[in-house]
Amino acid sequence: MTAVVPDFLPEGIDSPDDFSQLDAWWRAANYLAVGQIYLLDNPLLLQPLRAEHVKSRLIGHWGSVPGVTLTYAHLNRVIMREQISMLFVLGPGHAAAALNAASWLEGTYSERWPDVGRDTAGLRALFRQFSFPGGVPSHASAHVPGSIHEGGELGYSLAHATGAALDNPELIVACMVGDGEAETGPLATSWQAPRFLDPSSDGAVLPILHLNGYKIANPTVLSRIPSGDLLALMNGYGWEPIEVSGSDPAQVHSAYAAALDFAVDRIREIRQEDAAGRGPRNPRWPMIVLRTPKGWTGPDKVDGVQIEGSWRAHQVPITDVRGRPEHLHMLDEWMRTYRLEELFEPNGAPAAAIADWHPGGQLRMSANPVAHGQRQRDLRLPSVADHCIEVTTPGSEFAESTRTLGTYLRDALALNRDAKNLLYFSPDEQASNRLDAVFDVTERRWCAEILPGDDHLSRSGRVLEVLSEHLCQGWLEGYLLTGRHGVFSTYEAFAHVVDSMVAQHAKWLHTASEIPWRRTIPSLNYLLTSHVWRQDQNGSSHQDPGFIDHVLSKRPEVARVYLPPDANTLLYVMDQCLRSSGLVNVVVAGKQPALQYLDGPAAREHCEQGLGVWRWASTDSGYAPDVVLACAGDVPTQETLAAAEILRDMVPDIRIRVVNVVDLARLFPPDVHSHGISDDEYTDIFGDTLPVVFAFHGYPWLIHRIMYRRPGHENFHVHGFRENGTTTTPFDMCALNGLDRYHLALAALEHIPALAGRMGDFRQYLLELLAQNRAHTRATGEDLPEIAEWTVTPEPEPTRSK
């Protein structure tokens, strides 16, 4: 390979001589990375390497390290020259050794982790801890200063970088994209970023597509297609690609420096032109295509097999170092090729030539305050009480809960307009999910062409809509990880699209919570609507309530699930979520007209408790009930209340307690989840011998999985989604899954021993009512009016005297 120097070089390109410090820094970083992979001791090679200096389990990824360290060095050169603020996002996250090395050289690693100092002992600690029990992982994680990006699962770097750039107009987010990662779907669609980035209010994203040519065992697609195709691809996505290619360090240094100078100049130009009103509406941002060998500067061949520039450089290039003296010797030789005598003082500190060769203070990418939430501010939030809807009699009127929330979200946006730290994300569903009140005060973000008839589009809109749950999630994560706030509203069933992303984010939050210098970032807030019970328009493909199961499999310290039954509870729940930090909050609420139960004060109290007995719907006052009807979720709550009324009508003497659960985690034992109520509180509500018929929004076993250690769990009978999905009416969906009022009433009756003799009649009566609706549905496509329009009949003041 030869260096390709772009022909559009700016004036005054650095002469090769200027790169001696940069090259030394690069060599130092590479040396430190190799040390992390291999060494337990003897970090400065003061003695010839011996077997006991080397780790017994050699773990790490060398292949992409030299490209990462090279890039870091060249970005530092530009930062020093221009004194600009850059954030670094590392797509090839398994090259964590490179990031550790860079931040150690910049001093931030030792500032953050004082036990890893800038001396021989620190070097030894840096090396030893890497991929070592009790140490740090081999992929970039929250422990790395300046990093916002979990490097374990590939595909999200460019979306994170884009999210970090939003509302950070001074920032350049340099994002290394590995050519392996570039094959993933999320990364592929992340290239669409220029259509959504506003040059006047957002930072710039500078992607650096690193083609080192190989994955674990295969070449990478983008490194093996014709160069013209690759440039066309990047052009097609709206970027201006700049190629840098080579395997001779001196040549590559020249070309890379020129390319980055060009890119940064171009970014400045775009911003200036835009500020002057001269720029195109959707400018073509620069990006870099970097081709360097995999495992560059590492061993060329080992045991006669090609390593450098091949897939074999992916992980540990020289294996079995302890067992084979010639391998040990090869490692020793390799490490000395970096000329460490020029790089380190005898005490292990960086040598003078490189010690200060990095940007100062917060301009170090490893110390960028954006990365550690240091600039984050709490939201100003509107009064919930002001947004509560009137509810005079519980269950007497219908409203769209998410529409009410929309007014609150609108006012939240307005209150934080100047702070610019709140955004909403949705896969083209903000209005369909009835949150369109926000368009009173903002628009949808759109930097591509706008035509007459378009609805609320602008370049500065604060609602980001794109038909990709991956992008919505990735952008929001990037925004949160840099200390801002947001809400992601989406179809419940399709939240599974981001299952793996939320798992990684939850893990990041948990890891970060144990790192003393990381400020807790704002919570990741989901509003799942268009949920399983109201897919009136769609069939079984849109019916899946399992996202909450998935989220609750993550650490209880970070996972929360809320099922507000109506508009006012939804308001209080979302307010709590937006005030929280460090959590994954999942809120499930319907968008369709639904019964409203609690007025503002009652909703507030209910949400504070997280669960509670609804006295107004219960008939057990002062007595142990015959049965507890519990519910969680808006549709199950409606069916439960209707069941209670049916039971009252059928068996007037029956004593029923109605319990509603908003905060699902309240049900966990308190030693499992901090929100869990004590067993005493639990027994006060559910009893320990009472039959409980639980109408649940999701899969029934989620309740069993949460409750199996609770007293009296064997008396729990959970009705929920039994994977009986189809296209039908709202009530018929409940009926198909046994969640309807008649099945719930039947279940309650079946568990009251005193009624055993009358069950035949009861069963016949209730199943007949069910059949009537089914027949009506099949004939008309609608539920019976007495079901579809059912409202709560208020219980008269207690009349029973005993």
| Residues between 709 and 728 with contacts to a second copy, criterion CB under 8 A | 713-714, 723, 725-728
Binder to a second copy among 27, 55, 534, 655 (CB under 8 A)? 55
Taking the complex as a whole, the smallest distance from the CB of residue 547 to a second copy amounts, in Å, to 9
Residue 248 makes contact with a second copy by CB under 8 A: no
288-327 residues in contact with a second copy (CB under 8 A) are 306, 309-311, 315
Dmax over CA atoms of the chain, in Å, equals: 99
Residue 549 makes contact with a second copy by CB under 8 A: yes
184-203 residues in contact with a second copy (CB under 8 A) are 184-192, 195
How many other C-beta atoms are found inside a 10 Å radius of the C-beta of residue 740?
29
Measured CA to CA, the distance from residue 576 to residue 581 in angstroms comes to 10
Q: Which is nearer to a second copy, 133 or 798 (CB)?
A: 133
Binder to a second copy among 106, 198, 544, 663 (CB under 8 A)? 544
Residue 750 makes contact with a second copy by CB under 8 A: no
Both tokens of residue 77? 């050169």
Identify residue 33 by its one-letter amino acid code: A
Residue 785 makes contact with a second copy by CB under 8 A: no
207-226 residues in contact with a second copy (CB under 8 A) are 215-221, 224-225
Q: In degrees rounded to 5, what are phi and psi of residue 14?
A: -60, 140
Taking the complex as a whole, the smallest distance from the CB of residue 251 to a second copy amounts, in Å, to 21
Q: Which is nearer to a second copy, 92 or 373 (CB)?
A: 92
Q: Which residue has the tokens 């983008």?
A: 222
Q: Please, are residues 206 and 175 in contact by the beta-carbon 8 Å criterion?
A: yes
Measured CA to CA, the distance from residue 689 to residue 63 in angstroms comes to 62
Residue 34 makes contact with a second copy by CB under 8 A: no
392-431 residues in contact with a second copy (CB under 8 A) are 428-431
Q: Which is nearer to a second copy, 468 or 569 (CB)?
A: 468
Window 489-528: contact mask with a second copy (x via CB under 8 A): ----xx-xx-xx--xx--x---x-----------------
Q: Please, are residues 488 and 466 in contact by the beta-carbon 8 Å criterion?
A: no
Residue 238 makes contact with a second copy by CB under 8 A: yes
430-469 residues in contact with a second copy (CB under 8 A) are 430-432, 444, 446, 448-451, 453-455, 457, 465-469
Taking the complex as a whole, the smallest distance from the CB of residue 492 to a second copy amounts, in Å, to 12
Q: Which is nearer to a second copy, 275 or 775 (CB)?
A: 775
Measured CA to CA, the distance from residue 753 to residue 774 in angstroms comes to 30
Measured CA to CA, the distance from residue 681 to residue 521 in angstroms comes to 32
Q: In degrees rounded to 5, what are phi and psi of residue 657?
A: -115, 130
647-706 residues in contact with a second copy (CB under 8 A) are 699, 701-702, 704-705
DSSP for 536-605, please give it: TT--GGG---THHHHHTTS-TTTEEEE---SHHHHHHHHHHHHH-BS-EEEEE---SEEE----HHHHHH
Residue 550 makes contact with a second copy by CB under 8 A: yes
Q: In degrees rounded to 5, what are phi and psi of residue 720?
A: -160, -155
Residue 237 makes contact with a second copy by CB under 8 A: yes
90-129 residues in contact with a second copy (CB under 8 A) are none
Which region, judged by CB under 8 A, interacts with a second copy, from 152-160, 333-341, 368-376, 624-632? 152-160
Taking the complex as a whole, the smallest distance from the CB of residue 410 to a second copy amounts, in Å, to 17
Measured CA to CA, the distance from residue 51 to residue 63 in angstroms comes to 23
Q: Which is nearer to a second copy, 180 or 395 (CB)?
A: 180
Q: How much of the chain is helix, strand and coil, in % rounded to 5?
A: 45, 15, 40
Q: Which is nearer to a second copy, 26 or 742 (CB)?
A: 742
Q: Which residue has the tokens 């039954």?
A: 565
What Rg value do the Cα atoms of the chain yield, rounded?
30
3-class state of residue 485 by DSSP:
strand
752-781 residues in contact with a second copy (CB under 8 A) are 777-778, 780-781
Measured CA to CA, the distance from residue 381 to residue 364 in angstroms comes to 34
Q: 261: Cβ–Cβ under 8 A, 6 or more apart, which residues?
A: 10, 13, 78
